[in-house]
């Protein structure tokens, strides 16, 4: 297990971040949503810390916790007063020691319901929330690890068994597949000894093999045409989403696409805002994002239409702006604005101990270097106008993308 310590006594608070190299792309067939369901099950108790004790003991000591599952990783974090650190570490070591063998049908059923309610609350009952359920399968081909959403399907969540849980724990929840950060107000010497005592006794099978064979990964996008789909939702205004497969995190072009997203939609002077919202008054709002992943990324543009605007017209207006960004370099001024926004963001995200712990672990997992922040920033400061144009021309292909429309369902305005 990799251990990263970051000492900072500015405030009396300490954060623990324990990340595992497993996420939704590691799930087996007909088990979508399992990695995230498993994250929930990590709180369901062990021999030493029975069901509910993990949270009760931690919150009783003045701490709190949460966890997050993505396509690539699962991170667990705990925040508490300095006096709680041994307890936080003990609780993390305990569940990594023997959570799996202690799994029961009751624990699984309880969290299955919680997760299905999470799906309802964060996707099904949210305006435009179904986009995230739909986009992965439209964008990535059958069999691709990113073909399904992290939350999974109700059907697969229902199908998960206790033996699935035990096997998943045995395979992925291994110290050799984990990275631990302690950050904030603590003594590194003491913490090192405590970590050694608690985590050193856990046996390891060695690092598991990532099922994704990078060598066999397709070079560019697997999309060969425009994939169109229209869905209905409980919304008042229609929305158009355009999505492309794009270079993976830290690959050439990834930082440029972050900057392009900013040029397109950050601030009123951005390309899409100025043109569609401010000048032509076709759109209510615009958004763009390079969603970077370990094996591929996605570049997504989303535009909500103003009432009465035909979606064909809206799409044509978006396309005109994208064509312009492919055919001509952005201006110096646009590039400077985008870069300065990124630079400020790099500092702003260092404000909390919890965020710093998470950042150190993210770099460790992504590039094997927790101190990668400056090199990461250099990717952005070194980007050029020509570089942005080249990436836009290569990635934002109008003939190889997903175009998803969300239109109001028949209940619009119903009461």
Partner 1 sequence: MSLPRVLALGFLAMAACAEPQTPAKVAESVPRPAPLPAPPPDPLGPKPEAHLPAPYAPPVPDVFVTKGGLTVWLVERHALPYVAMTVSIPTGSSSDPKGKAGLAFETADMLDEGAGGRGSIELSRAVDALGASLVTAATVDASTASLSVLKKNLVPAFTLLSDVVARPRFDPAEWKRAHELELNDLVERAADPEEVERLVTRAVLFGLDHPYAHPVDGTTTSAKSIVLEDVRKFYLSAWRPDRAILVVVGDATKAEVTALVDQNLGAWKSPTAAPPAPVAPEAFRGPWPRLVLVDRPEAPQSVISLARPGLAASDPREPVLARANLALGGLFTSRLNQDLREQRGYTYGAGSRVAHTRGVGSFVSYASVFTEKTADAVQALVADVAEYAKTGPTNEETDKTRLQTRGDLVEKFEAYDRAAEHLAIEAALGLPADHERTAALAADEATKEALSKLASDCMDPSRAVVIVVGPAAKIEGPLRALGYGEIEIRDTDGSVVKGKRAL
Structure tokens at 258: 């972050």
Closer to partner 1 at the Cβ: 38 or 140?
38
Among 234, 280, 385, 394, binds partner 1 (CB under 8 A): 234
Terminal C-alpha separation, the chain:
57
Among 87, 159, 390, 400, binds partner 1 (CB under 8 A): 87
**Rg, Å, the chain Cα set:** 23
CB of 177 to partner 1, least distance (A): 19
Asked if residues 296 and 248 have their Cβ atoms less than 8 Å apart, the reply is yes
Task: Fill in the per-residue mask, 112 to 131: x = in contact with partner 1 (CB under 8 A), - = not in contact.
Answer: -xx-xxx-xxx-xxxx----
List the Cα angle 181/184/190 in 5-degree steps. Answer: 75
Most distant CA pair in the chain, distance: 66
CB of 27 to partner 1, least distance (A): 21
Asked if 47 is part of the footprint of partner 1 (rule: CB under 8 A), the reply reads yes
CB of 31 to partner 1, least distance (A): 21
Q: Which stretch binds partner 1 (CB under 8 A): 21-29, 155-163, 211-219, 276-284?
A: 276-284
Quote the CA–CA distance of 265 and 327 in Å, as a whole number: 18
Of 303-332, which residues contact partner 1 (CB under 8 A)?
A: 304, 306-307
Closer to partner 1 at the Cβ: 338 or 365?
338
# residues near partner 1 by CB under 8 A: 85
Asked if residues 71 and 190 have their Cβ atoms less than 8 Å apart, the reply is no
Among 23, 33, 45, 247, binds partner 1 (CB under 8 A): 45
Task: Fill in the per-residue mask, 338 to 377: x = in contact with partner 1 (CB under 8 A), - = not in contact.
Answer: --xxxxx--xx-xxxx------------------------
CB atoms closer than 10 angstroms to residue 67: 16
Return the residue matching tokens 């370099």: 329
Among 55, 171, 210, 315, binds partner 1 (CB under 8 A): 55
Among 278, 331, 386, 398, binds partner 1 (CB under 8 A): 278
Closer to partner 1 at the Cβ: 278 or 324?
278
* 230-263 exposure pattern, b = at least 16 Cβ within 10 A, e = fewer: eeebbbebbbbbbbbbbbbbbeebbbbbbbbbbb
CB of 129 to partner 1, least distance (A): 10
Of 250-269, which residues contact partner 1 (CB under 8 A)?
A: 266-269
CB of 122 to partner 1, least distance (A): 7
Of 148-177, which residues contact partner 1 (CB under 8 A)?
A: none
Closer to partner 1 at the Cβ: 95 or 298?
95
Q: Which stretch binds partner 1 (CB under 8 A): 17-25, 302-310, 382-390, 394-402?
A: 302-310
List, edge to edge, every strand of the sheet that includes 226-233.
226-233, 401-408, 239-246, 297-305, 283-291
Sign of CA dihedral 237, 297, 278, 348: positive
Closer to partner 1 at the Cβ: 252 or 344?
344
Q: Three-class SS of residue 64?
A: strand
Closer to partner 1 at the Cβ: 215 or 347?
347
Quote the CA–CA distance of 405 and 303 in Å, as a whole number: 10
DSSP conformation class of 409: -
List the Cα angle 35/38/41 in 5-degree steps. Answer: 165
Q: Which stretch binds partner 1 (CB under 8 A): 131-139, 277-285, 289-297, 379-387?
A: 277-285
Closest by CA position to 257, among listed 222, 283, 293, 306: 293
């Amino acid at each position: 297990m990799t251990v990263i310590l970051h000492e900072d006594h500015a405030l009396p608070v300490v954060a623990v971040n324990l990340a595992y190299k497993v996420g939704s792309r590691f799930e087996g067939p007909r088990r979508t949503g399992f990695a995230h369901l498993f994250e929930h099950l990590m709180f369901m108790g062990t021999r030493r810390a029975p069901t509910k004790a993990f949270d009760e003991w931690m919150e009783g000591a003045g701490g709190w916790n949460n966890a997050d599952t993505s396509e690539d990783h699962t991170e667990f974090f705990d925040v508490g007063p300095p006096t709680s650190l041994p307890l936080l570490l003990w609780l993390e070591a305990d569940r990594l020691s023997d959570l799996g063998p202690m799994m029961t049908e009751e624990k699984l059923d309880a969290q299955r319901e919680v997760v299905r309610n999470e799906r309802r609350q964060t996707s099904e009952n949210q305006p435009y929330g179904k986009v995230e359920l739909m986009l992965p399968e439209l964008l990535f081909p059958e069999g691709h690890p990113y073909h399904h959403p992290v939350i999974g399907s109700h059907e697969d969540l229902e199908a998960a068994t206790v033996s699935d849980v035990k096997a998943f724990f045995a395979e992925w929840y291994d110290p050799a597949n984990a990275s631990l950060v302690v950050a904030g107000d603590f003594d590194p010497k003491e913490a090192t000894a405590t970590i050694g005592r608690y985590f050193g006794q856990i046996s390891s099978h060695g690092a598991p093999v990532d099922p994704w064979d990078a060598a066999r990964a397709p070079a560019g996008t697997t999309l060969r045409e425009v994939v169109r789909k229209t869905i209905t939702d409980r919304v008042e205004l229609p929305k158009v989403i355009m999505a492309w497969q794009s270079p993976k995190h830290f690959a050439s072009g990834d930082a440029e696409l972050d900057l392009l997203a900013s040029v397109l939609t950050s601030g009123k002077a951005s390309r899409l805002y100025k043109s569609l919202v401010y000048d032509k008054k076709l759109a209510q709002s615009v958004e763009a994002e390079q969603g970077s992943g370990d094996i591929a990324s996605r570049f997504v543009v989303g535009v909500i239409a103003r009432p009465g605007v035909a979606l064909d017209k809206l799409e044509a207006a978006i396309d005109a702006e994208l064509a312009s960004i492919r055919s001509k370099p952005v201006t110096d001024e646009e590039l400077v604005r985008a870069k300065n926004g990124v630079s400020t963001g790099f500092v702003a995200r260092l404000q909390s101990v919890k965020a710093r712990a998470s950042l150190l672990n993210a770099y460790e997992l992504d590039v094997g270097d927790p101190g990668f922040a400056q090199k990461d920033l250099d990717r952005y400061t070194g980007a050029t106008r020509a570089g942005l144009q080249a990436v836009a021309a290569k990635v934002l292909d109008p003939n190889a993308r997903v175009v998803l429309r969300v239109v109001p369902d028949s209940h619009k305005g119903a009461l």
